[in-house]
Structure 1
Amino acid sequence: MNAYTTVLLYAGWILVLALFYATPRIPQALLGQKRIDSWERGKEPIDPMMLQRAKSAHLNCLENFPVFAAIVAIAGLMGQIDAINGIAAFVLYARIAQSVVHITGTSFIQVFLRANFFLAQVGLMLYMVYLLVS
């Protein structure tokens, strides 16, 4: 998998997470079980914890995606995409792992794993930057 494909799959993962927590809301709103604006920001969360964690995982993806996409785009513009092709996929794998662990719970080990998957992504992105500037 090349770095460009990885960016596309990362974007796809962000969309999957958004659908995961938003889709259950549609029938509730359409059937009048919940007001259409009952999920607005600043209100008490009403979703089950798993959906609240999915929303948080989605927001976490949005925080790091611009940095990752920028590194890949700059590598392409510099004509050095091959330098990061082998590494970019591991950023995505660590992101997906972090999201899955985030959604499944908040035990000590899960939070510990999440933090390590996050640090792996940051470390990999810093390594890609190093490769591009050295």
Structure 2
Amino acid sequence: METTATGEPRVLATDAALVLIDEIRRDNPDILFHQSGGCCDGSSPMCYPSSEFRVGETDVKLGEIAGVPFYISASQFEAWKHTQLIIDVVSGRGGMFSLDNGREKRFLTRSRLFGGETCAIGMPSAPDVPVV
């Protein structure tokens, strides 16, 4: 499930996200992302050591960013299936159990409707993002 029927990637990363991923991989070479849907960390993309997160049977792999797998729950995928996720970085603290926590910057999911304009309610428009 890594691209749409038209070949568009379902998940992308900004340059800032790629830099933070590289930083995290220096300490934890084998990581994965899971798009959170929990109440405590909102809808942040969570970054975990691969050995410490169990991907569920119903989780959907959206693709990879910088060679790192990116998953979302099946129920959340149903709500977001017409949306391209763009992983970015902003100042602040990461999710409590996410590897970006304690780095004074955190991952943030922006979105864009496939074939449409950027859709980022309450957030500035997502920048143009290279496909990685």
TM over 0.5: no
Q: Which has the higher helix share?
A: 1
Is the radius of gyration larger for structure 1 or structure 2? 1
Q: TM-score, normalised by structure 1?
A: 0.26
**Which of 1 and 2 has higher RCO (CA within 8 Å, sep 6+)?**
1
Q: Which has the higher strand share?
A: 2
Q: TM-score, normalised by structure 2?
A: 0.26
